[in-house]
Amino acid sequence: MTTETTEADMQPDAVQQITDEERGPGRADRFSALAQQHGALVTLLVAMVVASLSFDTFLTGDNLENMALSSAFLAVVALGMTFVIVTGGIDLSVGSLFALGGVVAAWGSQYGSAVALLLPLAVCGLIGLVNGLLIARSGLAPFIVTLAAMLGARGILLAITDEGSRTYLVDKDSFFATLGQGSLLAIGVPVWITVALFVLGAVVLRRTRFGQYVYAVGGNEDAAALMGAPVARTKIAVYVVSGLCAGLAGALNAAWLLSGVTILGTGMELEAIAAVVIGGTLLSGGFGFVSGSIVGVLLLKVIQNVINQIGSLDSAYQQVVSGAFLAVVVVAQTWLGRRRRVL
């Protein structure tokens, strides 16, 4: 003879315990997911409200336009970095590729706008391909490979500019210059290009098979291989994307400045990594989204703008505050990750 236990037969305390156990992890998971996805956005909104109340010039059209333009180039670099970090990798070469792309674009502009735009993409995309091949096929550590690429690209940059003594200028009447200097609906063309690239990046990462492979490789490489994901091709592709984004950002920056500047891009790889991580992408890979990266970029730029408006603070404090934000976000990610595993 068997008996069936119903909820009515249970003691009230036992029923309450089961209910909490069933509901608790769900709520905790949702809270952790919301914190990771929207924590940077909430922080950005709070920072903007505080800045607008503190400084009359913060919400002026000129200031917002300058922040949007200066954010656009870093955002394009961060877009490529997002793909790399989601796979669990890192790309330290993007700062040098950004500078190299700008100089190559300015040099190529004397042969036409198409050369000015395509040449940096080809050069930086090729360096990204070499990075990907060495990492995916030879099993070398991304940190070492991209560090070598960073030094190599900076060396090429100095070689073609006679160690920085030669500056290539862009014809201000060319179509290429319009990509950096032009505007549409009072918003700079680089900002529109950045928005379009982020929409494309979001679709690729969230809605395509390649995007699923990127997440799978970052989550667990061995499991992804067992499921049939092309692990090596995916890792190669993300480094090519990162190189292309860095080269394009450099070309747009050259079009904006009407010249290729060799000293740009120093430390940009760290800014891009910080923006991506602050935006919610896990450094360990397997989780991330491009919308968070652009929020991370904007947050860094708002911090820089506020420090500039204070005036009495040295620009070095920008790095201090940005580093502090990064440390807090990494600690929060670690805490949320442990909490979700425990629950």
CA angle in degrees (0–180, nearest 5) for 101-106-109? 120
Residue 26's pLDDT band, with cuts at 50, 70 and 90, is low
Per DSSP, the residues of 221-276 read HHHHHHTT--HHHHHHHHHHHHHHHHHHHHHHHHHHHTB--TTTTTTHHHHHHHHH
At 64-103, the pLDDT tens digits run 888 898 899 999 999 999 999 999 999 999 999 999 999 9
What distance in Å separates the CA atoms of residue 70 and residue 73, rounded to the nearest whole number?
A: 6
The pLDDT score that the predictor gives to residue 106 is: 92
Q: What is the mean pLDDT of residues 122-148?
A: 93
At 250-293, the pLDDT tens digits run 999 999 999 887 788 888 898 899 899 888 888 888 888 898 89
At 136-146, the pLDDT tens digits run 988 899 999 99
The residues pairing with 40 across neighbouring beta strands, listed in sequence order, are none
Q: What is the mean pLDDT of residues 55-59?
A: 84
What distance in Å separates the CA atoms of residue 119 and residue 101, rounded to the nearest whole number?
A: 8
Alpha helices by DSSP H, 55-112: 61-86, 94-108
Q: Give yes or no for residue 237 having a pLDDT over 70.
A: yes
